[in-house]
Amino acid sequence: MRLRGVTGPSWSPRHPWRSDPHTAAPVFFTSTDPGTTSGTGNSSIQNSDRGPCPMAALPLRTTCSLLRFWWFDPARLSIGARIDVDPGEFARDGLPIYAGRQSVSTARLYFPGLSAHFTGEPDCRRGRLRRLGHRPRKVGNMKAAVWQGGTKFTIDTVPDPVPGPGQVVLKVDTVGVCGTDVHITQGLFPSTPPLILGHEFSGTVVEVGKGVSKARIGQQVVCDITSHCGECDNCREWTISRCQRAQKSSGALANYAVVPAQSAHRLPEGIDLETGALTEPGSCCLSGSMVFPMPKDAVVLVVGGGIMGQFTVAFLKRRGARTVILSEPVASRRELGRQLGADVLHDPKMEDLKKVVDRETGGRGVHLAVEVVGKPELVARCVQLVRPRGNVLMIGVCPKGTTLPSDLYDLHYREVGIRGAFGRGNYFKKTLQLLPELNLKGVITTRYPLERAADAIYDSGQGRGVKLVVKPNA
């Protein structure tokens, strides 16, 4: 991916923000050429001006959004043409840009947390900068576990992230291994390497960007994945977690991460950083548990006793379910489920689940069955075990392209409802408030250093423990 820059023609002690033509020096990105992405993905960003772009100049914010989409999904920028920005907009909008000897692949890993070593304002004469007087931040090097595809990870030395306007930098404390991370390494969830994974995390604010109060430095926080505007159609009609203008946090399997300040939530009294990192998976379960009404004296079934199953048990019990049945093959997980509110524990290796459901419901079936594993055959089993007009909730993420192996006539005849529940919805803050009320002792079963991030993801995929976490700065 080529990046066009506007820089000074030479370097001098009096004007250190100008660049030497032989050095990949501070640049301001003003165009991209998607057609060259694969061929130059690891080349240095060169200090050059390739001349006028054949396309009309676009507003800076538009191009910034396109670049963010590219960082999340390269296919979104396969438009086959360069995009130019009016350089004068840099001063007005303050776009954070990476500068110095950085590779395109590194920029890809850290966008939208990109920031310049030097900031300046292009004037009307091409190739010249007028310094704004900002003192450059000294950027160090941190370690990051970079996913390279498949199950391969490398521990790389990369530049520290620098906060742009409205952002904060965290020293990462705890990163939870999510089933999505596992699915990515198994090719079951669309994503493109190289990439820093990790979206369930907590840490301490160490730096703030423009517009963020310095009083936030030192705060212990937990982070959701994206910011939200509260104004777009998705925010108003769906959930804020699906905001169309969302700014994504950087991956957290690293010493530091950059996030929108809005996405960094201060931990409540009595919650430590490790427990706080459980907020994101908990919020997905709380959001899901609110999808259907809870009938009086309801009997509910939860299939799967991993971290998502444990939170689902806890929140369904809090909503008033009379009986919660937890089906889980691992004994330690079943006992943890009892700790969080499960009334009936089922071992699928020892007894048919239908017998348990019939015994607890008089043969009628459960009011609600929740699948939290992500296997189509278990979703189909849930359909069979609900009563007429019962509901099935899918919290587990089934692989893309899979289908439901169910008798659709039976589903239609018994008027069974099926609903998906993906992500935290509007419940991240509420979950954080509820954590102190839950007995989460023993939920985190194994801790790994950053160098063993690949092992953590593999072990999670093998169903070992309940919640596995990585400690990047341990």
What band does 244 get if pLDDT is binned at 50, 70 and 90?
Answer: confident
Query: Mean per-residue pLDDT for 289-301?
Result: 93
For residues 121 and 152, membership in a common domain is answered with no
Q: Are residues 121 and 243 in the same domain?
A: no
What number is the average pLDDT over the span 115-131?
A: 31
Q: Are 197 and 181 in contact (CB under 8 A)?
A: yes
| 235 and 350 fall within a common domain | no
Q: Looking at 25-39, 204-218, 367-381, 407-421, which range is the least confident one?
A: 25-39
Predicted model pTM: 0.70
Q: Which long-range contacts (CB under 8 A, 24 or more apart) does 458-466 make?
A: 458/151, 458/185, 460/177, 460/179, 460/181, 460/182, 461/182, 461/185, 461/186, 463/306, 463/330, 466/305, 466/306, 466/307, 466/310, 466/332, 466/333, 466/336, 466/442
* Residue 227: pLDDT band with limits 50, 70, 90: confident
CATH number, position 380:
3.40.50.720
| Residues 112, 206 within the same domain | no
Examine the domain organization and report whether 114 and 227 are in the same domain.
Answer: no
Domain boundary among 107, 131, 155: 131
* Residue 118 belongs to a domain: yes
The pLDDT value given to residue 228: 81
> Domain total for the chain?
3
Closest CA to 224 of 239, 207, 213: 239
Residue 426: inside a domain:
no
On whether residue 257 sits in a domain, the answer given is yes
pLDDT of residue 58: 37
Confidence bin at 373 (pLDDT 50/70/90) = very high
Are 273 and 290 within one domain?
no
> Does residue 321 surpass a pLDDT of 90?
yes
pLDDT at position 451 over 50:
yes
Alpha carbons within 13 A on the beta-carbon side of 196: 34
Model pLDDT, residue 92: 35
Distance CA 119, CA 100 (A): 12
Burial letters 170-202, b for 16+ CB under 10 A, else e:
bebbbbbbbbbbbbbbeebbebebbbbbbbbbb
User: Both 232 and 288 in a single domain?
Assistant: no
Query: What percentage of the chain reaches a pLDDT higher than 90?
Result: 58
Please identify, among 91, 108, 131, the residue that sits at the C-terminal boundary of a domain. 131
Characterize 449-472 residue by residue with b for buried, 16 or more Cβ atoms within 10 angstroms of its Cβ, and e for exposed.
ebebbbebbbbbbeeebbbbbbbb
Q: For residue 74, is pLDDT > 90?
A: no
CA dihedral 218, 224, 225, 231 (to 10 degrees): -110
Among 69-83, 142-156, 343-357, the least confident range: 69-83
Beta-strand pair 366-371/299-303: parallel
Q: What is the pLDDT of residue 1?
A: 30
Question: Looking at residue 62, what is its pLDDT?
Answer: 39
Q: Does residue 423 contact residue 242 with C-beta atoms inside 8 Å?
A: yes
Q: What is the pLDDT of residue 140?
A: 72
Range of the domain at 287: 283-420
pLDDT at position 114: 32
Higher-confidence residue of 224 and 239: namely 224
249 and 153 within one domain: yes
Domain boundary among 102, 131, 160: 131
Q: Please determine, for residue 280, whether its predicted confidence score (pLDDT) is greater than 50.
A: yes
Residue 430 within a domain: no
Higher pLDDT, residue 242 or 450: 450
Average pLDDT, the chain: 76
